[in-house]
Amino acid sequence: MKEKQLVFIDFEFSMPERYKYPRGFFPEIIEAGVVVTMDGEIVEQYSTYVKPTAFPKLTHRCKKFLSITQENVDNGITFQSLVNYFSLLNAKGIDKVVTWGNMDMKVLRDNCAKTKIEFPFEAKFIDLSMEYKRFFGDRNQTGLWKAVQEYGREGVGKHHKALDDALTTLHIYKLVEKDKKYLEKAKPPTIGDRIDLSKIYNQLA
C-alpha cells in the first residue's frame, strides 16, 4: 500500500502600515513553517524566515503583530530557496497540501508570478478552514486557534509563529479526520432508539 504523504504549511506575510498602502504593495512571504507527515506520523519539520525583496523594510505594524524583527528577515533565505525546498518535497510525491484558509497558497502563487518563478506544487490543496466550516455547519470561517479551542484543546506554541501554526493545523486535521471516521462508523438508530418503548408497554399493561 502506498504511503500517504501530507504537507501542512503556514506562512506569515509582510503588511503595510494601517491605512497606508505604498504604491504597488503586495504581501510577501517572510516566514514559513512546514510539517510533513507520512501515514499520519511527522517525518519532517521546517522553519525559516524569508527575505522580502519588493518591499524589504518591514513596517512597524508588521514587526509588532508578528513579533518579527528586521534582522530576522534580513538573515532569512531567498524566496527562490524556499520554492526550491517545496519543489524537492513535490518531487517526493505529495498527496495533499493542507493550509488553514486560502491565503497561503494565493500569496505563494502571487509571489511566484511576480518573481517569474514556477509554482512548485502539483498536489491537491485542502483549505482546512472550509472543511471545518462545512463539517460543523458554521456560518463563518473560524480562526485557527479558535477552532482548536472549540475542540477543548490548545494551539501548539505561539500563534502567528509559522511552524507553530502549521503544527496546530495538523492537530486540527487529525481531530477532524477522527470525527469523520467516528461518524462513518456510527450505526443508524433503530426504532427502539427513537421511541421509548417502555411508555407504550405501560399503556398496554
- Answer yes or no: 160 catalytic: yes
* Contacting residues for 173 by C-beta, under 8 A, at least 6 apart: 6, 8, 98, 128
* Contacting residues for 46 by C-beta, under 8 A, at least 6 apart: 32, 33, 34, 35, 36, 85, 163
- Answer yes or no: 60 catalytic: no
Of 131, 160, 177, 184, which one is the catalytic site residue?
160
Give the long-range contacts of residues 169-173, CB within 8 A, separation 24 or more. 169/8, 169/10, 169/35, 169/98, 169/99, 169/100, 169/128, 169/144, 170/8, 170/35, 170/37, 170/42, 170/98, 172/100, 172/128, 172/132, 172/144, 172/147, 172/148, 173/6, 173/8, 173/98, 173/128
Of 12, 28, 31, 171, which one is the catalytic site residue?
12
Q: Which residues are catalytic?
A: 12, 160
